[in-house]
Structure 1
C-alpha cells in the first residue's frame, strides 16, 4: 500500500484583505518586499531606513513611491496599517514598541528581540494595545511546514522522540560586519541558530533543559554552537555555525517512522516521510512547487508569512496561532541560556530555562 501525505492547507493570497505595509530597514526588507509584491496583491506603501539615498534607490527598484526621513515619520503615516521591522537585532525591541504605541500591527524580523525579556516586553505591549505582533519566523508559514504539522497530528510517524537540525555556513571574519559584531547583535545563534531551535520547539513543545558547547569569535560573539535540548522525554540535537558549512537539513524521528526536510529546511524545499522499520518501510515525498512569476530562490517563501499576518489582522488577533507569543519568548529563553553557557557577553544572569552541564 502506498503512503499518501496530506496536502498543505493554504490561504488564498488574493482573498485575504490587503494590508498596507510600511518597512523599516533595507537589506532583508528588500527581499520581503520583492516576495510580497510578486506573490500577492498586498503592497508596501512606505519605507524608512537610516541611509536615505539607499532607501530611495531600493524603494524605486521595488515600486514603492514614499520614503520617510525616519521611523517616527513612517509611523505617523495614516496610510500604513502594519510595519515590518527589518533593522539590526538590537533595534527590534525599540522599533516594535514604537510601532505598537502608534497603533500599528508589527511583524518583527527574527529574533523578535535580543533576549527573552525584551521579547516579552514587545508581546505584552501588543496584547495590551490590541494589535498583532508576530516574529517573522517565515518557516512556520511555508506549505511544507503545514504538511509536517499534519503528519505529526495524524500520527503518521507516531510520537516524536528526536529532532535533529542544523543551519550554518562559513562566513569570512570581519569584526565590523553585523554577523561578527556584538553591538549589532552578531553571532550564529541569533542569526541562524534560531531556525533549528524554533523547529525543535514546534515539534516537541517547550524546551526545558539546555546543554551547549561551541566556539567564540575574536569579537566575543558565538561563532558556532551545538545544543542538546530536551522537552520531557524527547530530545533535540541542534547545530549552528558561522565557520562551518552545515548540511542545513532537519529530521524528526518518531515511534512509527521518521521524516526529513531537505536542504534548506528553513525555506521552500521538500519533505519525505518514511513509516515502518528499515527492512519494511514506505516512503512518500512532498515537494514545494515553483511559484509563478519572478523568483528569488528560497526567499520566495517570505510572502506566506505576510499573507498569514494579514489574515490574522482581519480576524482581530494579537498573536499568531502557529507561533504564539509564549513560544516566541520561550525560544529566545533557550537561546539566552545557550549563549550564557557559551560565555557570550551580556547574557541574563538568571536563565529562564533550566540548564545542564
Structure 2
C-alpha cells in the first residue's frame, strides 16, 4: 500500500511504524528540505516539498495527515476529493463545526476516514470495553482514570490551555466510546506556568460516575503513567502502565472479584502501531469495522472542548 505522509513533526512516529512493515511504501511531504532529509536518511522514504505530488499520484492509496490541527479539515477533504483514504492525527479538527463537515464528507464518500484515537485499540481498554458490554462483572458504577506526563518529549508546552485537547483527549475518547457523552461535567485546574498544569474532572452519567485526573506537573524523571480503576457491582478492573519507563514499558491489568484476584495477561502494546495496523487491515480486507470513525471522534471533541472552556473560565 502506498502512503502519502503529510508533515515532518509527529509524522516521525508514524514513519517508524510504516518502516517496520513490509507492506507499505511511503512518500513524505514537508516544506523544509532539512526535515525531509531525516525521513530519507533514517527510513529511506521518498520525499517532496509539493503536496500536489501526493494528491496527483494515482498509486497513493492512503493520505496520513500529521499536520497542525488547523489544517486537518482542508487535507481530509482534499484527500477524499482525490479518491484516497485518510488517516488523520487527533484531534479531528479545532471546532465541532469543522469536525461535522468532515463527518458529512466522509459519510458521502466511498473512501474510509480514520481519526487516530489510538486508545480505542489499546488492549486493556478493549478488555474494559468488553467487560462493560458483556456485564461480566455486573454494572459499571465508578471509573477513575488518570494520566500523568512529564516532559519526556522535551520542553513541550502542556499548560492548562493545552490539557483538554492535547493530554486528556485520547483518554476521554475511550470513556466516550464506552459510555457516550455525559449528562454533567465538573472540572477544576491549577497551573504552574505556561508548560505545566493539572486538572480534576468529574463526568456524571445515569448510574455511573467518572473521575479523571490529568497532570503535567511531574518532572521528566517521573515519565508517563496511565491507568484506570473500574468498579462494577461484582468486581473491580484495575490498570496501571508506564509506557515510557527507561527499563521498558510495563502494563498490569488486574481483576478483583469475591473469589479473589487474577492478573490478565496482556503484553505492553505499541498503540501507534496498533492503530495504524487497524487502518491498514481495514483497507486491505475491505472491512468496514472502522473503530476510528470521524463521527465518534467528533463526540469526543465536543466533550474535550466543553472541558477546555470550563478550565479557561468561559
Q: Is the structural similarity TM-score above 0.5?
A: yes
- The one of 292, 295, 300 equivalent to 1:326 is 295
Q: What does 1:150-165 align with in structure 2 at a 5 Å threshold?
A: 150-165=130-145
- Name whichever of 19-28 and 102-111 sits farther off: 19-28
Indicate the residue corresponding to 1:234 in structure 2.
Answer: 208
Deviation at 1:218, TM superposition (A): 5.7
TM superposition score normalised by structure 2:
0.84
- The one of 251, 256, 261 equivalent to 1:269 is 251
In structure 2, relative to structure 1, the CA distance for the partners of 1:217 and 1:87 (3 Å cut) is: farther
CA–CA separation in structure 2 for the residues paired with 1:31 and 1:263: 20
Contact between 2:199 and 2:215, CA under 8 Å: does it hold in 1?
Answer: yes
* RMSD of aligned alpha carbons: 3.0
Q: 2:279 aligned with 1:309, yes or no?
A: yes
CA–CA separation in structure 2 for the residues paired with 1:67 and 1:31: 16
CA–CA separation in structure 2 for the residues paired with 1:256 and 1:86: 43
Indicate the residue corresponding to 1:294 in structure 2.
Answer: none
Q: 2:226 aligned with 1:248, yes or no?
A: yes
Contact between 2:158 and 2:166, CA under 8 Å: does it hold in 1?
Answer: no
Indicate the residue corresponding to 1:29 in structure 2.
Answer: 11
Indicate the residue corresponding to 2:44 in structure 1.
Answer: 63
SS at match of 2:241: coil
Indicate the residue corresponding to 2:120 in structure 1.
Answer: 140
Contact between 2:225 and 2:243, CA under 8 Å: does it hold in 1?
Answer: no
Q: Which has the higher strand share?
A: 2
Contact between 2:196 and 2:217, CA under 8 Å: does it hold in 1?
Answer: no
Indicate the residue corresponding to 1:293 in structure 2.
Answer: none
Deviation at 1:193, TM superposition (A): 0.6
Q: Name the structure, 1 or 2, with higher relative contact order (CA <8 Å, separation 6+).
A: 1
- The one of 165, 172, 188 equivalent to 2:163 is 188
Indicate the residue corresponding to 1:85 in structure 2.
Answer: 65
Indicate the residue corresponding to 1:116 in structure 2.
Answer: 96
Unaligned runs of 5+ in 2: none
SS at match of 1:46: strand
CA–CA separation in structure 2 for the residues paired with 1:218 and 1:241: 13
TM superposition score normalised by structure 1:
0.75
- The one of 174, 179, 197 equivalent to 1:199 is 174
Q: How many residues align?
A: 305
